Amino acid sequence: MKDSYQRILAVVKLIPFAHVASYGQVADLAGLPNRARLVSKALKVATDNSDIPWHRVVNSQGYVSIPKSEPAYQQQLNLLRDEGVELKGTKVNFIKHRWQPSIETLLFELSY
């Protein structure tokens, strides 16, 4: 499990400023297809780690998956807005902000 978390966090660290990725996309790039829920679990552990841009991961529809009743919900929205991510209500503009890593990024920057 720990190795899977490290792979997930390595991918999340690569998501650039003002871009987002979905949980499923992160799982796929970490070599863990169909493990989107594992991405969520890894990010819950990592939210206190300031060098992990956990806020750049949203659900496949572009919404924050954290329950609205939790403080982290508003924190994620604020962090995305601070980076200039366009939101329509609380939905990310995936057309403009979805991260599509280049093959060079995947080959040379992704290490897990």
Domain of 41?
2-109
Structure token digits, residue 102: 């280049």
d(CA 70, CA 13): 24
d(CA 93, CA 98): 8
Q: What is the pTM of this model?
A: 0.92
Tens digits of per-residue pLDDT, 27-85?
999 999 999 999 999 999 876 767 899 999 999 999 999 999 999 999 999 999 999 99
Would you list the DSSP string of 42-63?
Answer: HHHHHTT-TTS-GGGEE-TTSB
pLDDT tier at 1 (50, 70, 90 boundaries)?
low
Count: domains in the chain: 1
Burial class of 27 by CB neighbour count within 10 A (0 to 12, 13 to 18, 19+) = buried
CATH code of residue 84: 1.10.10.10
